[in-house]
A and B are shown apart, each in its own frame.
Chain A
Amino acid sequence: MRRIGVFICWCGANIAGTVDIEKVVEESKKIPGVAYAGEYRYMCSEIGQDMIRDTIIEQNLDRVVVAACSPRMHEPTFRRAAESAGLNPYLVQMANIREHCSWVHKDEEEATRKAVALVRTAVAKASRSVELFSQEIPVERRALVLGGGIAGIQAALDIADAGYEVDLVEKSPTIGGRMAQLDKTFPTLDCSACILTPKMVDASSHPNINLFTWSEVEQVEGYVGNFTVTIRKKARFVDEEKCTGCGDCFEKCPSKVDSEFDEGLVQRKAIYVPFPQAVPNVPVIDKENCRWFVKEKCRVCEKVCEAEAVDLEQEDELLEKRYGAVVVATGFDVLGLEEFGEFNYGKHPDIITSLEFERLVNASGPTGGKLLRPSNQEPPRNVVFVQCVGSRDKSRGKPYCSKICCMYTAKHTVLLKEKYPQSQAYVFYIDVRTGGKDFEEFHRRAVEENDAIYLRGQVGKVFPEGDKLLVEGVDSLSGKTVQIEADMVVLAAAMVPRTDAPEIARLLTLGTDAHSFFTEAHPKLRPVETHSAGVFLAGACQGPKDIPEAVAQASGSASKALGILSKETLLSDPCVSKVDESLCTGCLMCIDVCPYHAITEKTIEEKVHGEVVKRVVAEVNEAVCQGCGACSVACRPGAMNVKGFSNEQILAEVDAVCL
Chain B
Amino acid sequence: MSVAREEHNFEPLIVAFCCNWCSYAGGDLAGTSRMSYPPNARVIRVPCSSRVSPNFILRAFQRGADGVLVAGCHPGDCHYITGNYHARRRLSILRRFLGFMGVEPERFEVHWISASEGGKFAEVMTEMPEKIRALGPNRKLRDAR
Contact = CB atoms under 8 A, between A and B. Distances in A.
A612 interface: no
Given A72-B24, A633-B86, A100 B31 contact: yes
Interface string B13-57: 101000011001101101110111111001111111011111110
B144 interface: no
A451 B113 CA distance: 50
Interface string A644-659: 0101001101110111
B15 A104 contact: no
Nearest to B3: A113
A99 B46 contact: no
A104 B36 contact: yes
A72 B21 CA distance: 9
A647 B53 contact: yes
A629 B47 contact: yes
Interface in A372-421: none
Given A70-B28, A105-B39, A655 B59 contact: yes
B90 interface: yes
Contact of A629 (B24, B27, B37, B46): B46
Interface stretch (A35-43, A114-122, A326-334): A114-122
B50 A628 contact: yes
A204 interface: no
B42 A99 contact: no
A509 B83 CA distance: 12
A513 interface: yes
A659 B1 contact: yes
Contact of B36 (A99, A106, A593, A658): A106
A642 B47 contact: yes
Interface in B66-93: 77, 79-83, 86, 90
Given A72-B25, A99-B32, A659-B1, A117 B42 contact: yes
A96 B44 CA distance: 10
Interface string A37-77: 00000000000000000000000000000000011110000
A99 B31 contact: yes
B42 A595 contact: no
A98 B32 CA distance: 9
A647 B56 CA distance: 8
Interface in A294-347: none
Contact of B59 (A121, A509, A634, A651): A651
A627 interface: yes
A53 B82 CA distance: 40
Contact of A103 (B32, B46, B116): B32
B22 to A, nearest CB: 9
A258 to B, nearest CB: 34
Interface SS majority for chain A: helix
A116 B3 CA distance: 12
Interface string A93-137: 000101111011111001101101110010000000000000000
B9 interface: no
A531 B52 CA distance: 21
Contacts of A645: 46-47, 51
A198 B123 CA distance: 54
Given A70-B28, A628-B51, A658 B63 contact: yes
A99 B115 CA distance: 13
Contact of B2 (A104, A117, A511, A630): A117
A596 B83 CA distance: 11
Contacts of A105: 36-39
B79 A634 contact: no
A114 B125 CA distance: 14
Interface residues of A, number: 51
B65 A658 contact: yes
B129 interface: no
B51 A99 contact: no
B15 A658 contact: yes
B141 to A, nearest CB: 11
A626 interface: yes
The winner among B31, B52, B55, B116 for most chain A CB atoms within 10 A is B31
B60 interface: yes
B113 to A, nearest CB: 13
Nearest to B11: A110
The winner among B15, B45, B55, B77 for most chain A CB atoms within 10 A is B45
Contacts of A634: 86
B137 to A, nearest CB: 12
B44 A101 contact: no
Contact of B43 (A100, A106, A658): A100
A630 B1 contact: no
A104 B121 CA distance: 11
Contact of B64 (A117, A647, A658): A658
Contacts of B54: 633
A615 to B, nearest CB: 25
A282 B45 CA distance: 54
Given A103-B32, A104-B36, A654 B59 contact: yes
B122 interface: yes
B128 to A, nearest CB: 14
B42 A118 contact: yes
The winner among B13, B38, B43, B65 for most chain A CB atoms within 10 A is B43
A100 to B, nearest CB: 6
Contacts of B65: 654, 657-658
Contacts of B13: 657-658
B40 to A, nearest CB: 9
A575 interface: yes
B27 A100 contact: yes
Interface string A621-642: 0000011111011100000001
8 contacts: A73-B28, A103-B31, A105-B37, A113-B39, A513-B116, A629-B47, A633-B53, A645-B46
Given A104-B36, A113-B2, 4 more contacts: A70-B31, A96-B28, A509-B81, A650-B44
Interface of B: 1-3, 13, 15, 20-21, 24-25, 27-28, 30-32, 34-39, 42-48, 50-56, 59-60, 63-65, 77, 79-83, 86, 90, 116, 122, 125
A-B complex: 5 closest residue pairs judged by Cβ atoms: A99-B31, A629-B51, A658-B63, A628-B80, A630-B50
